Structure 1
Amino acid sequence: MSPRARYLALLGADIGSTLGSQISLVAIPWLVLTTTGSAADMGLVAATEMIPYLLSSMLLTPVADRLGLRTSSVLCDLGSALAVGCIAAFHQGGLALLLVLVALAGALRGVGDRVKHVLLRPAGQAAGYSAIRMTSTYEGLSRLAALLGAPLGGLLIAGFGARGAVWLDAASFAGCAVVVAVVVRAAQAGTATRQAPAEPYLTALRGGFRYLREDRTLARMVRVVFALNVFATAATAVFIPVWARDVLHSPQGLGLALGAYAGGALGGTLLFTLLADRLPQYPVFVIGGLVSCLPRLLVLALSDNLLVVVAVNVLAGLGIASVNPILGAALYQRVPDALQTRVIGLCGTVCFTGVPIGALAAGWAVSRLGLHTALLAAVLVCVAVLAGPLAAQRRARLDLSVSRA
């Protein structure tokens, strides 16, 4: 098998795992609803997976380094297959059992996703791909998997029933484990598959925190992505729905605005993949962040025209397309091999924490200040958060292409 074929197989396994996770977000809650008839139980099961996912992404990565990344990836995917299979087999065993199994599946996916992300870098380098090309391709395929996962889950439920869809999801994780076991070899994937030097767990965990704290460029970029997740979730979960209800008086406007943002992000990712190697990374990162949130918030405060809002959401989607790939490339380029699993896991957890904070903060602001004032306040905070990193680029002439490793 050629290096390019190995890389594509590993990338396919990673995206397949992502697609399986998206399907399970639909199929498992639906299985609970059809089994118990309780919407409250359905919501509880749907929410239970996320906290273990985030915690394991940060806290279990030293264990993955100790075991070796290839071994950890295979074990996590096999464990996910077993946990999801048990959900299908024992879904009538009571809510407590379901919650334990869903939490276990979430924890395994959290560390498994981080491990496969690290394994992609040496495989892509062996195939001749640059870091930014790898991360932009990965981002585009991940967005596509996220868009297709929910409707595919619905189709699988319609075709095979909720239990059958969950069994298929379990089989997809088993398939990913087989691909990684066959494709990834220590001699081919470089140092990323070797076991980390023996060191106490807390020492290993602190090493990831310490590196991120000392690398000011990465720390600044992580703060920016955290803030962008806050603003994006605020817009998607609160601001745009309230605007569609109070200003437009049309639920159709909600779907169009959110669909325009998703479509712009997917199209922007494809465009960025083509141009990534020729663009200055850090300025594009910050400018893309500004474009992704500032106009999107401002247009809701100043306009009642749906076409204008849709157009601005397409532009915002184009802007966000560059952000995650550039952060991913910076992590590949700047973090030493021995720390990549821990630092990437930590960054992912910190960035994703902005999602619930954005929803809560926006809901509180709209209820206390009203939609218009809350939007203007969000615009001011957005400018304050993102102006600093842009100014830092001008002062320090930061170059993300230079590795610290």
Structure 2
Amino acid sequence: MSARSGLAALITASAVTALGSRVSMVAVPWLVLTTTGDPKQMGLVIAAQMIPYLLSGVFGTPVAERFGVRFSAIAADLVSCVATAVIAAAAHLGLGVILAMVAISGAVRGAGDRTKNVMLRPMAEAAGMTTSRMTAVHNGLGNGATLIGAPIGGLLVFWLGAQGAIWVDAASYVVCALIVLTLVHPPADLMPERKPAPEPYLVALRGGARHLARDRLLVGMLAMTFFANAVNQAHTALFVPLWVEQVLHSPAALGTVLGAFAAGAVAGNLVFIGLAPKLPPVLTFTICLAISGVPRLVVLGLSSDLALVLAVTFVCGFAVAAVNPILGVLLYDRVPVDMQTRVFGLVATVSFAGYPVGGLLGGWAVTGFGLTAAVLLGAGVYLVTTLVAVLRHRSLAVTPVEPAET
């Protein structure tokens, strides 16, 4: 099998995992609602999955490195399959079983997703594909999964019931594990070495954190991503639904606003795949991050025109397509191969931590200041974050990275 086929297989496996996860994000809370009748329990399910996912991205990655990234990726998919299948088969045993299984699935996926990311670059180099194009393609498929995953989940719940949809998700993990097992074979000379005497767990954990903390460029970009994710979560979970309710008085518009952003991201990825190698990475990251957030918040706060909101939101989604691929390229370039699993996990955890923070602070802002003021405050946070980055861009872009100490 050619190197290009192996790379395509790995990207396909990641996309299938993402799609299946989006289906579960619809089906499992719906199952909980129909079995318990309590909407509050739906939030418990989401928290029970996300908290272990975030924690394992930091504390599970040294273990994944010890077993090897390819083995860990396969094992994570198989464990997720079993945990998801238990939810589908034994939901009648109660909420405790569901919470335990989503926690197990979240814990193994937090480290397992990072191992797939580590394999991407050596597979891309073996296939003769640039890292920037590879990350753009990978991120584009993730955006596509986000765009179609929730609607597919809703259709599967309608056709098969919540448990049937969850069985489909369990099957998707088996498919991913088989794809990686049979078709994904990264070149050994480009992969992290499995040392005969692996580092002690705490030493490995500390080494990854120390390396990231010493890279001022990555820390600055990670801070920008954290604040952006916090505002994005408030925008998605609070600002848009409240704007639709208070301004348009029509819940039908909710899906169109959120879908416009995802559709713009997918379209942007198609363009960025071709432009990626020609753009200055740090400046492009900063400008696109600002464009992706500030205009859609300002128009949401100041306009009641749905068509205008949709148009601006689509453009913002188009701009955001460059953000994650550029961050991914810089991570591959600035983090040693033998530390990538740990550092990637730490970066993902800090970035994703913005989501619960944004939801909490967004709720307080709306309660304390009203919707319009809260939305414009979010736009201000976005703008200040990116302006600070622009002012520091020249010094950060030339910051050297010393060899990591472990």
Which TM class, normalised by the smaller chain length? over 0.9
> Structure 1 residue 289: deviation in Å?
0.7
> Structure 1 residue 347: deviation in Å?
0.4
Q: For 1:349 and 1:94, how far apart are their aligned partners in 2?
A: 30
Q: Which residue of 2 aligns with 1:247?
A: 247
Q: Please say if residues 28 and 162 of structure 2, whose CA atoms lie closer than 8 Å, have aligned partners that are also in contact.
A: yes
Cα deviation, 1:131-185, whole Å, max 9, x if unaligned, reads 1111110111001112222222233333333323222221221221122122334
Q: Which residue of 1 aligns with 2:189?
A: 190
Q: Which residue of 2 aligns with 1:268?
A: 268
> Structure 1 residue 44: deviation in Å?
2.4
Q: Which moved more, 1:326-335 or 1:18-27?
A: 18-27
Q: Which moved more, 1:261-270 or 1:318-327?
A: 261-270
Q: For 1:254 and 1:168, how far apart are their aligned partners in 2?
A: 27
Q: Which residue of 2 aligns with 1:110?
A: 110
What residue ranges of structure 2 are gaps of 5+ in the alignment? none
Q: Please say if residues 84 and 167 of structure 1, whose CA atoms lie closer than 8 Å, have aligned partners that are also in contact.
A: yes
Q: Which residue of 2 aligns with 1:230?
A: 230
Q: For 1:146 and 1:381, how far apart are their aligned partners in 2?
A: 25
SS in 2 for 1:92: helix
Q: Please say if residues 69 and 194 of structure 1, whose CA atoms lie closer than 8 Å, have aligned partners that are also in contact.
A: no
Q: Please say if residues 268 and 318 of structure 2, whose CA atoms lie closer than 8 Å, have aligned partners that are also in contact.
A: yes
1:287-326, aligned counterparts within 5 Å?
Answer: 287-326=287-326
Which amino acid counterpart does residue 46 of structure 2 have in structure 1?
A: A
Structure 1 residues 247 and 38, CA gap change in structure 2 (3 angstroms): closer
> Structure 1 residue 82: deviation in Å?
1.3
Q: Please say if residues 69 and 195 of structure 1, whose CA atoms lie closer than 8 Å, have aligned partners that are also in contact.
A: no
SS in 1 for 2:353: helix
Structure 1 residues 224 and 16, CA gap change in structure 2 (3 angstroms): same
Q: Which moved more, 1:100-109 or 1:26-35?
A: 26-35
Structure 1 residues 238 and 88, CA gap change in structure 2 (3 angstroms): closer
What residue ranges of structure 1 are gaps of 5+ in the alignment? none
Q: Which residue of 2 aligns with 1:25?
A: 25
Q: Which moved more, 1:389-398 or 1:101-110?
A: 389-398
> Structure 1 residue 361: deviation in Å?
1.2
Q: Which residue of 2 aligns with 1:347?
A: 347
> Structure 1 residue 403: deviation in Å?
11
Q: Please say if residues 78 and 174 of structure 2, whose CA atoms lie closer than 8 Å, have aligned partners that are also in contact.
A: yes
Q: For 2:175 and 2:378, how far apart are their aligned partners in 1?
A: 44
Which amino acid counterpart does residue 328 of structure 1 have in structure 2?
A: G
Q: Which residue of 1 aligns with 2:179?
A: 179
Which amino acid counterpart does residue 194 of structure 2 have in structure 1?
A: Q
Which amino acid counterpart does residue 131 of structure 1 have in structure 2?
A: T
Structure 1 residues 256 and 97, CA gap change in structure 2 (3 angstroms): closer
Q: Which residue of 2 aligns with 1:357?
A: 357
Structure 1 residues 39 and 9, CA gap change in structure 2 (3 angstroms): same
Q: For 1:12 and 1:45, how far apart are their aligned partners in 2?
A: 27
Q: Please say if residues 298 and 375 of structure 1, whose CA atoms lie closer than 8 Å, have aligned partners that are also in contact.
A: yes
Q: For 1:189 and 1:6, how far apart are their aligned partners in 2?
A: 14
Q: Does 1:95 align with 2:95?
A: yes
TM-score, normalization by structure 1: 0.93
Q: For 2:305 and 2:143, how far apart are their aligned partners in 1?
A: 28
Which amino acid counterpart does residue 281 of structure 1 have in structure 2?
A: P
Q: Please say if residues 299 and 312 of structure 2, whose CA atoms lie closer than 8 Å, have aligned partners that are also in contact.
A: yes
Structure 1 residues 297 and 106, CA gap change in structure 2 (3 angstroms): same
TM-score, normalization by structure 2: 0.93
Sequence identity percentage: 47
> Structure 1 residue 69: deviation in Å?
0.7
Q: For 2:69 and 2:15, how far apart are their aligned partners in 1?
A: 17
Q: Which residue of 2 aligns with 1:2?
A: 2
Q: Does 1:142 align with 2:142?
A: yes
Q: For 1:38 and 1:381, how far apart are their aligned partners in 2?
A: 35
> Structure 1 residue 34: deviation in Å?
3.6
Q: For 1:351 and 1:243, how far apart are their aligned partners in 2?
A: 26
> Structure 1 residue 326: deviation in Å?
0.4
1:152-231, aligned counterparts within 5 Å?
Answer: 152-185=152-185, 188-192=187-191, 194-196=193-195, 198-231=198-231
Q: Please say if residues 334 and 403 of structure 1, whose CA atoms lie closer than 8 Å, have aligned partners that are also in contact.
A: no
Structure 1 residues 183 and 224, CA gap change in structure 2 (3 angstroms): same
Structure 1 residues 321 and 404, CA gap change in structure 2 (3 angstroms): farther
Q: For 1:372 and 1:76, how far apart are their aligned partners in 2?
A: 43
> Structure 1 residue 19: deviation in Å?
1.2
Q: For 1:154 and 1:397, how far apart are their aligned partners in 2?
A: 44
Q: Please say if residues 85 and 166 of structure 1, whose CA atoms lie closer than 8 Å, have aligned partners that are also in contact.
A: yes
